C-alpha cells in the first residue's frame, strides 16, 4: 500500500519526522505539508525526495513580509516528482537551472520569486510540464517569462483588482490547448508565439493592459469566453476565428455590443452563443454604455451555423436588448434552441408584459423559419426550435416551453 501523508506542522512537527522515518513503501505517493517554521522545511522535503515522492503540496502561513525559502538545491535533479503545488508565503530562488524531469503539473498560489532568473530556471528545467497555474497578486518580477514547449494548460489569475505598477508576462507555448487569464490590472501581456493547437481560451476581467494584443494569438480557439470590454483590448484587424464554435460574452462590460458584433462577423462557423451577466464577485459598472448597431450585412455564422442562443438575465424591458435579441433570432436560420433567463417580475402587470415579450420573440423565430430569398430545407427535414423562458425565484424555477 502506497501512503498519502498529510501534516499540519503548526502543532504536530514531531509526527512528520516519525512518519517519514517509518515509511517503508517503494515510493511515497503524496505528501501535504502546512508549515509554520522554515527550519524544518528543507529536511522534510529532502526526506520526501529521497522516498521518491510523486505529489508534493507545501503551504506556508506566516506574518506579513515573512517567507519560507523553498530548498532549491533539492531540485538540481529529480525524476519522480509529478505534481508540485506551492501555496502562500513561499520564496522561490533558483540561481541555477533545476532539473525536474517528470514534473507535469506545477501550481503556484501567492508565492514570491526572487528574480526573473529564478522564473526562467524553474520553468526551463521542467521538460515535460503540461499544466501550469499561477494564482495571486504577488508575482512582482518585472518580466515573467513562460517559455515551455510542452505546456498544454495555462491558468494565470490575479484576484486583487488594484492597479499594478507595470510588469509583464511573456508567453511562448506552442502546444497550448487551454488558456485562462483573469483579473489583470495594469499589466502587459505578450504572447510571443501562436498556439495552433489551442482549443479553449478564457479572457476574464482585464483592465488597463498596456500594448494588449491577446486576441491576435488566439485565432485557432474552438471555444472562447470573453468577459471584457473592447476598450481594454486591440481587436485583430482582418483576423478570422475560422475554427470558433462556441462563444461566451459578458453583458456587463462597457461597449460589449461592439465586441459581440466583431466576434459574430469574424466567426463564420459559430454554433453556440452565450451572453451572461457580470459576476457578483467582480466590480459592477454603474452603467454600461454603448448601443447595439445593426450590421449592414448579416454575419455568416447566423445564416449558416448558429444553433444555440443563450441569454442569462436578459433585460426584457430595455429596448436595446430587445432589438439585439430580435436581430439574432430573426437572422439565425439554423437555430434549434434559444434560452432566455430573466429575473422574476415582482408584479402581475410586469409578468403579463414579459409574457407578451416572450410571444413577440417566438413570433420572430417562427417568421424567420422560411425567410424569403433563402433556400428551403430539403424535403423531409424540418427546423426544430424550442423556446425556453426560465423564471428565477430563489431556488424555484418555473419553465414554459413553446414549440413549433
DSSP state string for 172-186: E-TT--EEEEE--BS
- Please state the pTM of the whole predicted model: 0.82
pLDDT band at 158 (very low <50, low <70, confident <90, very high): confident
pLDDT at 104: 98
Beta carbons within 8 Å of 136's beta carbon, 6+ residues apart: 108, 109, 110, 111, 157, 158, 159
Per-residue model confidence (pLDDT) at position 314: 83
With pLDDT > 70 as the criterion, what percentage of the chain qualifies?
67
Cβ atoms of 161 and 184 within 8 Å: the answer is no
**With 60 as the cut, is the pLDDT of residue 115 above it?**
yes
Query: For residue 381, what pLDDT band results from cuts at 50, 70 and 90?
Result: very low
pLDDT at residue 368, as a whole number: 59
Question: What mean pLDDT value characterizes the chain?
Answer: 77
What confidence score (pLDDT) does residue 371 get? 43
Residue pair 356/389 in contact by the 8 Å Cβ criterion: no
Query: What is the percentage of the chain residues whose pLDDT exceeds 90?
Result: 34
Of 255, 209, 203, the closest CA to residue 233 belongs to: 209
Say if residues 352 and 319 touch (Cβ distance below 8 Å). Answer: no
Greater confidence (245 vs 30) lies with 245
Mean pLDDT value of segment 227-256: 82
For residue 50, what pLDDT is reported? 85
Instruction: State the pLDDT confidence band at 396, using cuts at 50, 70 and 90.
Output: very low
Are the C-beta atoms of residues 189 and 216 closer than 8 Å to each other?
A: no
Give the model's pLDDT for residue 243: 94
Beta strands in 312-370 (DSSP E): 337-343
Report the pLDDT value the prediction gives residue 167, as an integer from 0 to 100. 72
Grid cell at residue 147: 517559455
Q: Which residue has the higher pLDDT, 9 or 320?
A: 320
Instruction: Provide the pLDDT for residue 322.
Output: 84
Instruction: List, in order, residues 6 or more apart from 54 with CB less than 8 Å away.
Output: 27, 28, 29, 30, 80, 81, 82, 83
Range name among 69-73, 143-147, 290-294 with the lowest pLDDT average: 290-294
Question: Does pLDDT of 151 surpass 90?
Answer: yes
Q: Are 229 and 251 in contact (CB under 8 A)?
A: no
Instruction: Give tens-digit pLDDT for 328-375.
Output: 999 999 998 888 887 665 554 556 666 666 666 666 655 555 443 333
Give the pLDDT band of residue 207 (cuts 50, 70, 90). confident
Confidence of residue 401 (pLDDT cuts 50, 70, 90): very low
pLDDT at 358: 64
pLDDT of residue 292: 73
Q: What is the mean pLDDT of residues 97-114?
A: 95
Predicted confidence at residue 245, as pLDDT, reads 98
pLDDT at 281: 47
Grade residue 170 by pLDDT with cuts at 50, 70 and 90. confident
Q: Report the pLDDT averaged over residues 376-394.
A: 39
Q: Quick: pLDDT tens for 14-63.
A: 555 555 555 566 678 888 888 877 777 888 888 888 889 999 999 987 65
The pLDDT score that the predictor gives to residue 76 is 92
Element (H, E) at 90: strand 90-92
The predicted pLDDT at position 308 comes to 94
What strand order describes the sheet that includes 68-69? 68-69, 90-92, 112-113
Q: Are 16 and 41 in contact (CB under 8 A)?
A: no
Do 67 and 89 meet the contact criterion of CB atoms below 8 Å apart?
yes
Note the pLDDT of residue 238: 66
Grade residue 285 by pLDDT with cuts at 50, 70 and 90.
Answer: very low
Amino acid at each position: 500500500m502506497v501512503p498519502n501523508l498529510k501534516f499540519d506542522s503548526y502543532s504536530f512537527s514531531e509526527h512528520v519526522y516519525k512518519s517519514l522515518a517509518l515509511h517503508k513503501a517503494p515510493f511515497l505517493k503524496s505528501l501535504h505539508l502546512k508549515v509554520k517554521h522554515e527550519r524544518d522545511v528543507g529536511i522534510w522535503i529532502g526526506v520526501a525526495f529521497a522516498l521518491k515522492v510523486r505529489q508534493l503540496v507545501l503551504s506556508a502561513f506566516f506574518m506579513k513580509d515573512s517567507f519560507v525559502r523553498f530548498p532549491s538545491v533539492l531540485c538540481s535533479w529529480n525524476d519522480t516528482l509529478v505534481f508540485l503545488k506551492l501555496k502562500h508565503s513561499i520564496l522561490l530562488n533558483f540561481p541555477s537551472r533545476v532539473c525536474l524531469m517528470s514534473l507535469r503539473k506545477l501550481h503556484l498560489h501567492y508565492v514570491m520569486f526572487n528574480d526573473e532568473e529564478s522564473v526562467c530556471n524553474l520553468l526551463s528545467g521542467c521538460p515535460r510540464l503540461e499544466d501550469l497555474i499561477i494564482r495571486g497578486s504577488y508575482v512582482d518580477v518585472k518580466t515573467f517569462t513562460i517559455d515551455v514547449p510542452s505546456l498544454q494548460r495555462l491558468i494565470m489569475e490575479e484576484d486583487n483588482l488594484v492597479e499594478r505598477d507595470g510588469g509583464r508576462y511573456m508567453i511562448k507555448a506552442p502546444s497550448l490547448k487551454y488558456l485562462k487569464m483573469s483579473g489583470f490590472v495594469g499589466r502587459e501581456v505578450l504572447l510571443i508565439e501562436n498556439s495552433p493547437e489551442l482549443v479553449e481560451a478564457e479572457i476574464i476581467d482585464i483592465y488597463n493592459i498596456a500594448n494588449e494584443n491577446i486576441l491576435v494569438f488566439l485565432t485557432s480557439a474552438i471555444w472562447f469566453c470573453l468577459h471584457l470590454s473592447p476598450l481594454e483590448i486591440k481587436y485583430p484587424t482582418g483576423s478570422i476565428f475560422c475554427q470558433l464554435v462556441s462563444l461566451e460574452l459578458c453583458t456587463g462590460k462597457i461597449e460589449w455590443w461592439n465586441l459581440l458584433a466583431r466576434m459574430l462577423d469574424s466567426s463564420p462557423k459559430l454554433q453556440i452563443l452565450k451572453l451572461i451577466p457580470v459576476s457578483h464577485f467582480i466590480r459592477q459598472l454603474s452603467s454600461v454604455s454603448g448601443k447595439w448597431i445593426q450590421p449592414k450585412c448579416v454575419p455568416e455564422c447566423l445564416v449558416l451555423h448558429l444553433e444555440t442562443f443563450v441569454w442569462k438575465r436578459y433585460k426584457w424591458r430595455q429596448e436595446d436588448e430587445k432589438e439585439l435579441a430580435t436581430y439574432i433570432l430573426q437572422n439565425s436560420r439554423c437555430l434549434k434552441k434559444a434560452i432566455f433567463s430573466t429575473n422574476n417580475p415582482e408584479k402581475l402587470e410586469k409578468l403579463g408584459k414579459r409574457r407578451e415579450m416572450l410571444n413577440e420573440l417566438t413570433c420572430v423565430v417562427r417568421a424567420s423559419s422560411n425567410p424569403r430569398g433563402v433556400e428551403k430545407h430539403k424535403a423531409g427535414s424540418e427546423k426544430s426550435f424550442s423556446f425556453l423562458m426560465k423564471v428565477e425565484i430563489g431556488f424555484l424555477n418555473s419553465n414554459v416551453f413553446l414549440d413549433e
